[in-house]
Amino acid sequence: MDMQTKPPRTAAEQAIQDSFAEMIGQLPGDAAVMVARDKLLSAIDDAGLPTRRIESWHYTDLRSLLRGVPSKPSGRAGRVDPLVWGSVVLPVVQGRSTDLTAPEGMRLTPFSKVLQSGEAARLLTERGSDDLIGQLNGAFVGDGYSFTVAADASMDKIIEIQSVQSGGQVHSRFQAAFEAGAKATVIERYLGDAAETGLSTSISTLELADGAEVTWIILQGRGGNDQHLAQLSARLGENSTLKVYVINAGGKLTRQELHVDVAGEGSHFDLRCVNLLAGDSHTDVTLTLGHSVPNTTSREIVRNVVLGRARGVFQGQIKVAQLAQKTDAQMSCNTLLLSDDGEFSAKPELEIFADDVICGHGATVIDIDHSHLFYLMARGITEKSARGLLVNGFVDELIDEIDNEVLVEALETLVEQWLADHG
């Protein structure tokens, strides 16, 4: 009888097991939580890191790309100013939250306290056998925040979740519930130190009750040597609206997953994603979007700027259930490829089981239009500045959709700074 031999652990796989043995005594949770952690770690060890053979990881062979795993956090990072002055900041510094007083209309608890509650073990689960991010985060998560925005509350101030890391490992989780009619803008911001090598995992779960309106912005600006694996899961109630903006502008290896269930009739989901890729970085954005009820809509636009030897991936899957008549779902991916050595792979998918729908997808890869470049240079603008203007226009169109002028200006400044540093 032929026996399938399990391949030997890679250096990264061995380091994950060693890190767990080192950190387990410091991780919060009761006996049930520890059993759940052990189960998730065993799943990683049994399957190994994902390879190209796993369809959802086909373009991000983590077994090859994840060369090593750093030790536990060193504790040298500190808080920074919020992106928009006056925001409510929820800091996570080297993986540790702060016990804060919540603003009016909001209930707030550090996730370390949630992990110590009697039912916490049910939170540490995986989405499936290929859910490496869920497995890794569930095994190691130590802190983060859980918060609820009360029914009909309108949060006037932006909520900024601020994860600051300088080397080591950080595993965080953020639970957000928006009760009926709640309105809020949340920034999920990741910062790193280019001088250190860090590994971070993060899972955010969003629950939108009927009529909630939420803008959720993910800013990934980890250090140039960092490895960042993140996942956002969201469920939309009736007549709710979720607008997610993702800006990737850092990290050596990044995977951002988004799993969205448009589960309430009359609900709407938007995704606007900007990937700014340079050097020899690898960035993967993977979306699964389910329309499961009638009369729902969604719009997904991904824009990518690729420099150097950078590689990027967008996998977007839209599923329309048989019950979900009158669905209107549109998805597009546009790439500005500014280097002969750079790559970007786009894999759009539609699975439609209803017959009365409007669904579509498209993908383009282009270089800068030389007639536009010539037009600007003919008016005394240098070639570098002209290129910067055209690239800014390519991505700023998405950012301008945000209904907050101060926030738009801050995000456009972030993009301009990235282009100045890498252009």
* CB of 73 closer than 8 Å to CB of 168: yes
| Token duo for residue 84 | 């928009």
pLDDT at 403: 92
pTM of the full structure: 0.95
Which pLDDT value is given to residue 368? 72
Per-residue model confidence (pLDDT) at position 64: 95
**What span, in angstroms and rounded, lies between the C-alpha atoms of 164 and 222?**
9
pLDDT at site 2: 47
What is the domain partition of the chain in residue ranges? 11-264, 370-423
CA distance 67 to 81: 33
Q: How far apart (Å, rounded) are the C-alpha atoms in residues 301 and 236? A: 19
pLDDT value for 132:
97
Place of tokens 């993009």: 415
What stretches in the chain show pLDDT beneath 50?
A: 1-2
Which pLDDT tens digit goes with each residue over 380-413?
777 677 677 778 888 999 999 999 999 999 999 9
Task: Give the tokens for residue 365.
Answer: 């890869």
Contact 166, 198 (CB under 8 A): yes
- Side chain identity, residue 143: D
